[in-house]
Amino acid sequence: MKHRYALLALSALSPLTALAGPITEAEKQPLNLHAIGMFFVFVLGTLMITWWAARQTRSTSDFYTAGGGISGFQNGLAIAGDYMSAATLLGLSSLVFAKGYDGFVYTIGFFVGWPVITFLMAERLRNLGRFTFADIVSYRLDQTKIRTFAAFGSLTVVCCYLIVQMVGAGQLIKLLFGLDYQIAVVVVGILMLVYVIFGGMIATTWVQIIKAVLLLAGGTTLALMAMSQFGFSLETLAAKAVEVHRSGWNIMGPGSMLADPINAASLSLGLLFGIAGLPHILMRFFTVPNAKEARKSVFYATGFIGFFFLVVMVLGYSAIVIVGTDPQFFVGGDIKGALIGGGNMVAMHLAKAVGGNLFLGFLSAVAFATILAVVSGLALAGASAISHDLYATVIKKGQATEQQEMRVTRIATVGLGIIAICLGILFEKQNVAFLVGLTFGVAASTNFPVLILAMYWKGLTTRGALYGGFSGLICALTLVILSPAVWVTVLGHEKAIFPYDHPALFSMPLAFLVIMLVSHLDRSPRATLERAAYEDQFVRAQTGLGAAAASSH
Partner 1 sequence: MSSNGTQHAQGYQHIRSNPKFQQLIKERARLAWSLTALVLGLYFLYMVVVAAAPGLLHTPLQDGSKLTMGIPVGATIIIFSWLMTGLYVRTANTRFDDLSKAVVEESQA
Interface residues with partner 1 (CB under 8 A)?
A: 101, 104-105, 107-109, 111-112, 114-116, 118-120, 123, 130, 135, 138-140, 143, 234-235, 238-239, 241-242, 249, 252-255, 258, 261, 268, 291-292, 295-296, 298-299, 302-303, 306, 309-310, 533, 535-540, 542-546
Nearer to partner 1, 107 or 344 (CB): 107
Nearer to partner 1, 52 or 101 (CB): 101
Nearer to partner 1, 143 or 171 (CB): 143
Nearer to partner 1, 30 or 398 (CB): 398
Question: Hey, how many other C-beta atoms are within 10 angstroms of the C-beta on 465?
Answer: 29
Cα–Cα distance measured from residue 379 to residue 159, given in angstroms and rounded to the nearest whole number: 9
Nearer to partner 1, 52 or 299 (CB): 299
CB 316 within 8 A of CB 490: no
Cα–Cα distance measured from residue 19 to residue 119, given in angstroms and rounded to the nearest whole number: 33
Q: How far is the CB of 301 from partner 1 (least distance, A)?
A: 9
CA atoms within 13 A on the CB side of 194: 17
Q: How far is the CB of 199 from partner 1 (least distance, A)?
A: 27
Cα–Cα distance measured from residue 546 to residue 432, given in angstroms and rounded to the nearest whole number: 44
Q: How far is the CB of 433 from partner 1 (least distance, A)?
A: 24
Nearer to partner 1, 37 or 254 (CB): 254
Nearer to partner 1, 217 or 545 (CB): 545
CB 16 within 8 A of CB 87: yes
Question: Hey, how many other C-beta atoms are within 10 angstroms of the C-beta on 105?
Answer: 18
Beta strands in 155-207 (DSSP E): none
Nearer to partner 1, 37 or 248 (CB): 248
CB 109 within 8 A of CB 422: no
Q: How far is the CB of 499 from partner 1 (least distance, A)?
A: 18
Q: How far is the CB of 540 from partner 1 (least distance, A)?
A: 7
Nearer to partner 1, 258 or 516 (CB): 258
Cα–Cα distance measured from residue 424 to residue 401, given in angstroms and rounded to the nearest whole number: 34
Q: How far is the CB of 60 from partner 1 (least distance, A)?
A: 14
Nearer to partner 1, 191 or 223 (CB): 223
Q: How far is the CB of 435 from partner 1 (least distance, A)?
A: 27
Q: How far is the CB of 75 from partner 1 (least distance, A)?
A: 13
DSSP code string of 359-378 = HHHHHHHHHHHHHHHHHHHH
For 523, the 3-state DSSP assignment is coil
Q: How far is the CB of 298 from partner 1 (least distance, A)?
A: 7
DSSP code string of 300-347 = HHHHHHHHHHHHHHHHHHHHHHHTTT-GGGBGGG-TTSPBTT-TT-HH
CB 385 within 8 A of CB 134: yes
Q: How far is the CB of 480 from partner 1 (least distance, A)?
A: 24
Cα–Cα distance measured from residue 175 to residue 344, given in angstroms and rounded to the nearest whole number: 11
DSSP code string of 259-281 = S-HHHHHHHHHHHHHHGGG-HHH
Cα–Cα distance measured from residue 505 to residue 262, given in angstroms and rounded to the nearest whole number: 8
Give the CA diameter of the chain.
Answer: 73
Cα–Cα distance measured from residue 141 to residue 534, given in angstroms and rounded to the nearest whole number: 10
